[in-house]
Amino acid sequence: MSTVKQAESAVSIASQGVKPPAGIKGVTNVVLVHGAFADGSSWAKVIPLLQAKGLNVVAVQNPLTSLADDVTAARRAIARMDGPVLLAAHSYGGMVISEAGNDPKVAGLLYVAALVPEDGQNANDVNAAMPTTGVEKEFQISPEGFVVLSAKAVREHFVPDASPAEQGVIYATQVPLAGRAVEEKVNSPAWKTKPSWYIVAAQDGVINPDLERFKAKLIKATTIELESGHVPMVSQPNKVADFIISAAAKL
């Protein structure tokens, strides 16, 4: 098969998605958005659990070059879906879905240890509301203004409840975050008009857990709290998947 034909075949298969079983309730399309210092593989343990329930799942690969670029990437994923979408995000990804969630195909928003902007806020504004966790002391900034986490930050702040092998993979696969991305503002966040869900990570070493609780209450989100670090998708994937499945069923 020629390269062109192979590409056409791949596109055709991707556009079909996973066909949900007949009679499944609620929204059957889920778009997952990763946060800073990560890539789409941060959802790797959750995706098969969602697919096993018949959900059509796409994990966005954010370029993390700007908030606008990340929103565009999320919108491309939303456009691939053949119906209403539950849009879920982790960490900085909460900024992305608060903007991209205004797409008419998005039926609801689900935040996982995520930043939630109010009108006219950027990520720095959101974090400034409460004391930080100190993770910023381990930021490594390139001359071009891109930020990555040190190995120590990954172990002690980002995924302290993951195995050493998982920590090593997460450190190696992190995508550098453009500093300008946290300075771009979100206006008219989608949570104002759409139902929301929130997972608070009670042992979060990146975002202050009290900030997560405050934001979850502010947006009137259906909320659960997990005794996890910043990335519960890695340490407690079954609980995260169950919460996403429950939210999708209610839309």
Taking residues 94-123, what's their average pLDDT?
98
pLDDT at 10 over 50: no
What is the predicted pLDDT for the residue at 25?
82
Taking residues 113-122, what's their average pLDDT?
98
Q: What is the pLDDT of residues 49-101, one digit of tens each?
A: 999 999 999 999 999 999 999 999 999 999 999 999 999 999 999 999 999 99
What is the predicted pLDDT for the residue at 37?
97
Q: The tokens of 44 are what? A: 């790797």
Q: What is the pLDDT of residues 215-241, one digit of tens each?
A: 999 999 999 999 999 999 999 999 999
pLDDT at 197 over 70: yes
Query: To the nearest whole percent, how much of the chain has pLDDT over 70?
Result: 90
pLDDT at 22 over 90: no
What is residue 121's DSSP assignment? B
Q: Which domains does the chain have, with CATH numbers?
A: 27-249 (3.40.50.1820)
Taking residues 34-58, what's their average pLDDT?
97
What is the predicted pLDDT for the residue at 6?
37
Taking residues 127-147, what's their average pLDDT?
96
| C-alpha angle 180-186-190 in degrees, rounded to nearest 5 | 145
pTM of the predicted structure, to 2 decimals: 0.91
Query: To the nearest whole percent, how much of the chain has pLDDT over 90?
Result: 90
